Amino acid sequence: MRVKKYIVDSMPDALQKIRSDLGKDAVILNTKEIRIGGFLGLFSKKKIEVIAALDTQASTNKAKPILKQEIKTPIAQAQATAASVLAQISSVAVLEEPLPYVPDVILNHMPPIVVDKSVAKDDTVLTEIRQMKEMMSKLASRSQFTAVERHPILAALEEQLIAQEVSPLIIQQVLDRVDDELLSSGDELTASNVHAIAKNYLLHLIKTDASKYIAADTKVVHFVGPTGVGKTTTIAKIAAEQVLKHHRKVGFITSDTYRIAAVEQLKTYATILNIPLEVVFSPQDLNKAFAQLKDRDLIFMDTAGRNFRNEMYVSELHALLQGRGKSETFLVLSLTTKYKDMKVITDNFSKFNLDKVLFTKMDETDSYGSIVNLLNDFPLKLSYVTNGQNVPDDITVADEHAIISLIMGATSDE
């Protein structure tokens, strides 16, 4: 095997060099970002290290002609049959029209494969056949979801969940659970029974025994999130709760000096609640800010809602979130955000050891499926939801039962 390492500016550059040096049969073994040059880690340039290889033995074997008298073994016949079936399945999978549900039809009707005992121990071939069957099963399951005609009650449930923007995978899990429980219990398929099973399953996905409130021994609470989700107003609402209801001494720190009037907005809330406010312009200002607020029971830190894809912002935010006593980090997301974007945002902020998620603008949408999707995809805990701009009123601790009821809607029996 011939192995070669490349240091390039981009993947297209790497691919061009690999094709030129190793040919079209080369494969990429590993890629990683590195930094080159600079002084003491500064001003270095980002590069990509790519390791590629060419299997010279495979290339030799590929060029070897097949003799006419060469006879295929049963194992070779099995491999050829499997490859043919996979080729057919792959060609069907790209069609725009949905496929009917035909589980294991092709495998069940394949001619029997007689394998000699001397070659029955060929684990590689058996593994390939097993993987092929799993792939066919997944394709069939995906086709079933789009093409099978369901009972009207199940179809209504599916339409409701789709309208609430619940992910297709979770919808299929809900429908499977309904099928399993009705089959095992022998209960009649009614709207109320289906509704109850589906509701319990969705509740199971988001329900947690962990406290939604800020822990009593937490010293610092960080709020992170993208632009426009209402972090500053939300911080003021929770601070008011801590001051008026729990009688805790609260302090504010804000690093949101990029948005026009952001500091003034938080300063107004701080004045109303009689809370001290410290403004930091860089991570170096944090020590002074914490020293000024050392007598506070709880410190709320408002971070700038800048572009989460910007590497400089991410690096700066990471420095701002360095621990000073026990802390919690809340991710603030708007329910008006598309789940596709919400997922990318959460994935990017997950490097900051997120603890809880807080959803804003619940009053500005009638679609809540993204809550289930997010809590199913990420190890986050529900905390609060906001439903208006009024401080401190328009915030409440998230109620899983209420959220699932909104997603499910009413049944025809109710």
Burial class (CB in 10 A: 0-12, 13-18, 19+), 77: middle
CA 394 to chain centre: 28
Overall pTM surpassing 0.75 (yes/no): no
In DSSP terms, which residues pair with 221 in a beta bridge? 300, 328
The mean pLDDT of 394-411, rounded to a whole number, is: 89
Residue 92 has pLDDT above 60, yes or no: no
Show the tokens assigned to 221.
């609470």
pLDDT band, residue 319 (cuts 50/70/90): low
Which residue do the tokens 């099978």 mark? 148
**pLDDT tens-place string over residues 155-181:** 999 999 999 999 999 999 999 999 999
Which residue do the tokens 């294991």 mark? 104
The mean pLDDT of 85-112, rounded to a whole number, is: 43
Residue 281: the pLDDT is 78
| Class of domain 220-397 (CATH, top level) | alpha beta
Show the tokens assigned to 367.
């679609």
3-state helix, strand, coil in the chain (%, to 5): 50, 15, 35
End-to-end CA distance of the chain: 69
* Domain-wise residue ranges, the chain: 2-61, 93-148, 151-206, 220-397
